[in-house]
Amino acid sequence: MTVVTRFAPSPTGRLHVGNLRTALHNWLLAKHHGGRFLLRIDDTDKERSREEYVEAIRADLAWLGVHPDGEERQSARFDLYEAAFAALKDAGRVYRCYETPQELELKRKVLLGRGLPPIYDRAALELSEADHAAKASAGEAPHWRFLLDRDKPIEWTDGIRGPQHFDPAQMSDPVVRRADGSWLYMLPSAIDDSAMGVTDVLRGEDHVSNTATQMQMFTALDASPPRFAHEALLVGSEGKLSKRLGSLGIDTLREAGIEPAALVALLARLGTSDPVDAGLDAEALAASFDLSHFGRAPARFDEEDLHRINAAVVHAMSFAEAAPRLPHGMDEAAWLAIRPNLAHLGEAADWWQVVTGPIEMPAFDEDTRAFLSGAAETLASLEWSGEVWRDLTGTLKDSTGRKGKALFQPLRQALTGRDHGPEMALLLPLIGRDEALARLKFATA
Ligand code: GLU
């Protein structure tokens, strides 16, 4: 059977790293099995769903390189939900309720006060047809609950958490439809997972108790449930689900210079026992993707790790890959010289500026100015070649007796305006003879 996975965001906001990780894992799981990955837009909530978020979700996934094999929208599937709902009604698996939130809260408090679990008491099941008719003529529309089968223990083997047991007698019948006819998430999701042939639902562990309820929904719908796996949630480096993490999305990361490949490499392996490896592409990550490598402990997302991985991704980037994003005129030799110094690709422009000038240099003391003046003369007398840095420093070492930092640092500062940077042996040929002489002369002026 072809593996079918899905990512089912509600378009009520932007995706954050936690959602992106879930999307990525579902894509990798499908890819691993040569299956299909669906994007399902859970937009039953007309008030809160926004088209701009649907577009942002698509764009964010595309930026990551996660390409769905199909896209579905719940707002286009209301007929299907009505039909399934009618069947559940006929089978007596959904029932009408009228309690207000205040009444429900009171019931909860009474139960808790008696030391009992706050399970819905099914009072509405006792209503007669005459009661319902009276409610209707008073203009009171019902909301609907799904009737759990309290005699059937709920069990499944979770792909990450192992064997799971839930006692439906300890659960409240969930509300599946509001009085205005709108749907809550749970039933449409089960209907869709079944209708779309979803074989594997991989989502956050905050959904475990929903799964317990949905297991019975699948049975009530005459469908066999998909396999379920629930991954531990993402926490920040400080070990908590921080506010920052809850809102950290692709825009912020992209502005910070993060490459999609770096984010994919990190998120793919976060929460697993597999090491993060910046050198792995999506194919390799999919090939090694394995739910049994996931742990139960919260997965720590550390932005510093991400920046470290990003640097590794940039350091491995070929000129052809980087070229479209490099400053005009920057060639392969320049890319190869500058690349090892980059944490983010955007910094290439700064180093290219160092090559082409103008640069700012520090003021040098008299001694250093004399040394740099000699350096200018030496450089003018040397044959200009790819070895010119070696020749220049070799000659100056002999003529001045300087070595180490005393020899190299003033030259680097005068030629680049910086204390550190790419190898001078590579930079000097890029700067060029005339410009290099001009800089040395300027330093001694
Ligand atoms: N729309 C639901 C959510 O965003 C989907 C959950 C699921 O994957 O079933 O939480």
Q: Whose CA is nearest to atom 7 of ligand 1?
A: 8
- The model's confidence at residue 239, banded by pLDDT at 50, 70 and 90, is confident
Question: What ligand 1 atom has the least distance to the C-alpha of 9?
Answer: 4
- The model's confidence at residue 8, banded by pLDDT at 50, 70 and 90, is very high
Question: What ligand 1 atom has the least distance to the C-alpha of 42?
Answer: 1
Check residue 1 and give its pLDDT.
82
Check residue 270 and give its pLDDT.
95
Residues with CB under 6 A from ligand 1: 8-10, 42, 185, 189, 203, 207
Decide which of 1.20.120.530, 3.40.50.970, 1.20.1290.10, 1.10.10.350 is the CATH code for 357-443.
Answer: 1.10.10.350
The residue to mutate among 5, 10, 41, having the most atoms of ligand 1 within 8 angstroms of its beta carbon, is 10
Check residue 4 and give its pLDDT.
98
Check residue 362 and give its pLDDT.
93
> Which part of the chain is CATH 3.90.800.10?
88-177
pLDDT one-digit tens code per residue, 163-195: 999 999 999 999 999 999 999 999 999 999 999
> In angstroms, what is the span from residue 90 Cα to ligand 1's centroid?
27
> Which part of the chain is CATH 1.10.10.350?
357-443
Q: Whose CA is nearest to atom 5 of ligand 1?
A: 8
Check residue 244 and give its pLDDT.
79
Check residue 237 and give its pLDDT.
79
How high does pLDDT run on average in the chain? 96
Topology (CATH level 3) of domain 1-76+232-316 = Rossmann fold (3.40.50)
Check residue 38 and give its pLDDT.
98
> In angstroms, what is the span from residue 9 Cα to ligand 1's centroid?
6
Are 400 and 374 in contact by the 8 Å Cβ rule? The answer is: yes
User: Average of pLDDT values for 249-268?
Assistant: 95
State yes or no: pLDDT of 445 exceeds 90: no
pLDDT one-digit tens code per residue, 289-326: 999 999 999 999 999 999 999 999 999 999 999 999 99
State yes or no: pLDDT of 266 exceeds 90: yes
Q: Whose CA is nearest to atom 10 of ligand 1?
A: 9
User: Average of pLDDT values for 257-286?
Assistant: 96
State yes or no: pLDDT of 240 exceeds 80: no
The residue to mutate among 26, 29, 207, having the most atoms of ligand 1 within 8 angstroms of its beta carbon, is 207
- The model's confidence at residue 61, banded by pLDDT at 50, 70 and 90, is very high
> In angstroms, what is the span from residue 212 Cα to ligand 1's centroid?
14
Check residue 204 and give its pLDDT.
96
> In angstroms, what is the span from residue 170 Cα to ligand 1's centroid?
23
Check residue 238 and give its pLDDT.
77
> In angstroms, what is the span from residue 114 Cα to ligand 1's centroid?
34
> In angstroms, what is the span from residue 186 Cα to ligand 1's centroid?
9
User: Average of pLDDT values for 336-343?
Assistant: 97
Question: What ligand 1 atom has the least distance to the C-alpha of 6?
Answer: 8
Question: What ligand 1 atom has the least distance to the C-alpha of 201?
Answer: 8
pLDDT one-digit tens code per residue, 359-388: 999 999 999 999 999 999 999 999 999 999
Find all residues with CB under 8 Å of 241, minimum gap 6, and list them: 233, 234, 235
Q: State the CATH architecture for 88-177.
A: Alpha-Beta Complex (3.90)
Question: What ligand 1 atom has the least distance to the C-alpha of 206?
Answer: 10
> In angstroms, what is the span from residue 8 Cα to ligand 1's centroid?
5
Question: What ligand 1 atom has the least distance to the C-alpha of 7?
Answer: 8
The residue behind tokens 């030259």 is 411
> Which part of the chain is CATH 3.40.50.620?
1-76+232-316
